[in-house]
Structure 1
Amino acid sequence: MKKIITYVMIFTMLITTAAVSMAVPASAAVKKQSKRQVTLIRSYNKIYRKCKKNFKYDGSQLEMNQDSYKEFKIWDKELNRVYKLLYKGLSAKQKKVLKKKQIRWIKKKEKEAAKEAAQWAGGSGQPLARNMVLITETKKRLRWLIRTYA
């Protein structure tokens, strides 16, 4: 009796495993990270830690505005570096597609930043509000570039 129960359990596990593996589409399979991807992720994490350490956003409004601008410039510089690096390795068709997507993204990012800044209507927090959107969107785009093209 114990043998039968054991066989039934094993059979059930095999059927369940087979069903689950067939239900997962190939696109959902875990992709192994390339060396380039790992390197770029490390660079991202290093900048993230540096910014978290250096920009506390606990000073005067002027200081927070200045810090947010400095942080945005750091992320923007990294985005441009990664973009150029990845762009070099693409085919002509891929370059055209990425360039088009990048231009569309820049317009969207600027529009979102302007929308957020407008809510402050010239107040002292307007630069901070704008810069925080630029930082957030730039970091998202950087992660997307690494995940998609590295």
Structure 2
Amino acid sequence: MSTVPWNTKELTIGELSERSGVPASALRFYERQGLIHSRRTTGNQRRYHRTTLRVVAFIRASQNVGIPLSVIGEVLAILPEGAAPTEQFWIRASDCWREELNARIERLERMRDLFTECIGCGCLSFGQCALVNPRDQLAEKGSGPHRLTSEAPAR
């Protein structure tokens, strides 16, 4: 149970870690990446504004749906320093990466469908399989997983 008073405006890294459930090492990493900010005391200790709790919650929620930290940082850049994410901010952030999430979903569905097709013969060789890659048409595109990364599967 946290011993931090509800009206405390600043948190130590230990308090922020305890309240957010995020290890202090991850918080320091987020700070090095510019995702969160602290001020330093005269003893060089970090102090985080209470609103950082919401920023850390936003970072973790974003990571849980697969958003890379670099993209999270781009979205956090529109949030004024010291401000907590609001409902409008969350909506705007969601709009920023809806396209990326939809593209990721499409890639995963394509991978699922391709692997399902391949179960028919069991060879798992896209380079040689007559069902998935007749006459090795994909070899013309060079090396790489073209069926898994292209927009439409080759037939």
Q: Which has the higher contact order (CA 8 A, sep 6+)?
A: 1
TM-score (norm 2): 0.30
The structure in which a higher percent of residues are strand is: 2
The structure in which a higher percent of residues are helix is: 1
